[in-house]
Structure 1
């Protein structure tokens, strides 16, 4: 067993703590926009439609993204092809939610009277870069690591690149979220500098996000937690059995 070959002390504690912080971040963002920002609507009320953006982005590009890159560590004793499918499925769900979140943001700008310009803030630039990187990672990852027939040595050479850009995309997503929180607080919270209740709540959301991201990065970069390869890992999706 993998667990006999590596010192895994702290892995499940860190993973459990990350799950708590990730779920808390999603819950806090939902409570924030529901309590302080007017709740939820679709295109009939563009101002409130925007509230879907932070909720879905936090769910997709932070919580699900983080979980997708931790799956090889947390469920290390499962067959690798099963982990690949879970990894790709989480990414796909996250991408779908991200598209809806982006539509909510663009609608909230374009349907206003007068319309608000799109993509002029650093938050939007970095966020769009993270989404583009995310989509490219999904497509390239599917071709390189799930598509049958790709040579093992080619997969091995592509893995460090895939891992690097996956982590970079996650860091960009978290950074964009923190910028978005600060931007919204400065635009919408009255006397933000005086730390009203909403301002404190927004700041706490950011702290929780950073805590989640820190644990994710620790889990996926700690060499002790790296999943060791197994002979059955090279079985193609179209061959062999579980």
Structure 2
């Protein structure tokens, strides 16, 4: 059983603090500067859609998948248990990414308007490749 060495504790701490800072900044940006990404006449429903997309993509897709990567270093237990937790966290991250894309499509612009930028295409490709990785390379069977 591999234990967490003392030299990796500061790195793990920095990774988690960085994740919390990023999540806090996204929440602050989404709530405080809502006029930067919404028209002035937006409804409360559009505000929810506009805030949920970045929150789900950053907190769910990036931070949770990062925790899934780190789970092999900090979680005690058997290899099978660690792989099970890793798969569950990757599944939550994938579901968050899919739901984040679905939320963006339900905004006021609709589906087609969201495919005019490189950001939207790269995001869709990233979530698709991540989903293929989770579904095709299931760590429980390796």
TM tier relative to shorter chain:
0.7 to 0.9
Q: Partners in 1 of 2:14 and 2:34 — Cα distance? A: 29
Structure 1 segments of 4 or more deviating over 3 A? none
Report the RMSD for the aligned CA atoms in angstroms.
2.4
1:134-178 per-position Cα deviation (integer Å, ceiling 9, x unaligned): 111111132xx324xxxxxxx4xxxxxxxxxxxxxxxxxxxxxxx
1:99 offset after TM fit, Å?
A: 2.1
Q: With the length of structure 1 as denominator, give the TM-score of the two structures.
A: 0.50
Query: Which ranges of structure 1 fall in alignment gaps of 5 or more residues?
Result: 148-154, 156-242
Give the whole-Å Cα distance in 1 for the aligned partners of 2:114 and 2:53. 14
- Shift of residue 74 of structure 1? 2.4
| Count, aligned residues | 134
Matched, 1:58 2:62: no
Give the Cα–Cα distance (whole angstroms) in 1 for the partners of residues 12 and 128 of structure 2: 27
Equivalent residue for 2:140, pick from 141, 146, 156: 146
Give the structure, 1 or 2, with the largest relative contact order (CA under 8 Å, sep 6 or more). Answer: 1
Correspondences of 1:26-175 after superposition (within 5 Å): 26-37=23-34, 45-46=45-46, 48-75=48-75, 77-108=76-107, 109-110=109-110, 117-142=113-138, 145-147=139-141, 155=142
Report SS of the residue matched to 1:51.
Answer: helix
Which consecutive residues of structure 2, in runs of 5 or more, have no partner in the other structure?
36-42
With the length of structure 2 as denominator, give the TM-score of the two structures: 0.82
Larger radius of gyration: 1
Q: Secondary structure at 1:78's aligned position in 2?
A: coil
Secondary structure of the 2:115 match is coil
Q: CA deviation at 1:125?
A: 1.5
Equivalent in the alignment of 1:168: none
